[in-house]
Structure 1
Amino acid sequence: MLRRNWVNLLLLVLIGALQARLWLGKHSIPDFHGFEAQVKQQQLKNANLTQRNALLKADIEDLTLGLDAIEERARSELGLIKQGETFYRILPDEY
């Protein structure tokens, strides 16, 4: 009977040690959830960067294929106008 109690006590201590390691030790369940959150954040960043890369790639293709894209960019970013054109600037009313 005494031996059985020691075995039960030993098994209880081992289960307690394993539970403590599972919840409090290195690579525990809370660490796992933290890593999952980091992975989700990184996936979101990667998706944003992939979308940005696709837009930049489309811009590069537009600029290499024709002069229309270059002309459009010069007009919008630099405010350039063609010879013979009249430039009108409409300002909003200030209250």
Structure 2
Amino acid sequence: MLSASAPDLNAVRLVARIRSQGLTWMLAVAIVLLQYPLWLGEGGWLKVRESANRIDTQQALNLRLQTRNAGLLAELGDLKQGRDAIEERARNELGMIASDEWFVRVVSAHTVQSGKTNE
């Protein structure tokens, strides 16, 4: 009788072992399936990291463009004010005047006496 129940006991152990290993494999598969969205899904870690790199690149580009724009604005301001500076130089150094202007030059008495001018 021991020999007849021994296969039954081995079969029971085998079924119990398969059940426990099956449960282990099912849990392992469930963990892998739960991890997939975290790593590779729509809002996964890899996508977030890639987006962060693109944001850093874009911010560096924006900073460089803002610096360039500030330089262009400064140059534009110089050109606007430079026109006044150019007109002033033309009046003082070259004696140029506009058609609707009067140009009066005041010469100091010291310059008149010595006969020298600052030109």
TM-score category by the smaller chain?
0.5 to 0.7
1:60 aligned to which of 76, 88, 101: 76
SS at match of 1:39: helix
- Runs of 5+ unmatched residues, structure 1: 71-82, 84-95
More helix by share: 2
Look up the equivalent residue of 1:35 and give its one-letter code.
Answer: S
2:50 aligned to which of 23, 34, 47: 34
Query: Identity over the aligned pairs, expressed in percent?
Result: 36
* Structure 1 residue 26: Cα displacement: 1.6
- Give the structure-2-normalised TM-score: 0.45
- Runs of 5+ unmatched residues, structure 2: 1-19, 87-93, 95-119
Tell me what 1:88 maps to: none
Cα gap change, 1:32 to 1:69, in 2 (>3 Å)? farther
Partners of 2:40 and 2:47 within 8 A in 1: no
Cα gap change, 1:29 to 1:63, in 2 (>3 Å)? same
SS at match of 2:43: coil
- Give the structure-1-normalised TM-score: 0.54
Q: Could you say which structure has the larger radius of gyration? A: 2
Give me the whole-angstrom Cα distance separating, in 2, the residues matched to 1:31 and 1:57.
38
1:45 aligned to which of 61, 69, 74: 61
* Structure 1 residue 18: Cα displacement: 2.0
Aligned residues: 69
Give me the whole-angstrom Cα distance separating, in 2, the residues matched to 1:66 and 1:42.
35
Partners of 2:39 and 2:46 within 8 A in 1: yes
* Structure 1 residue 27: Cα displacement: 1.9
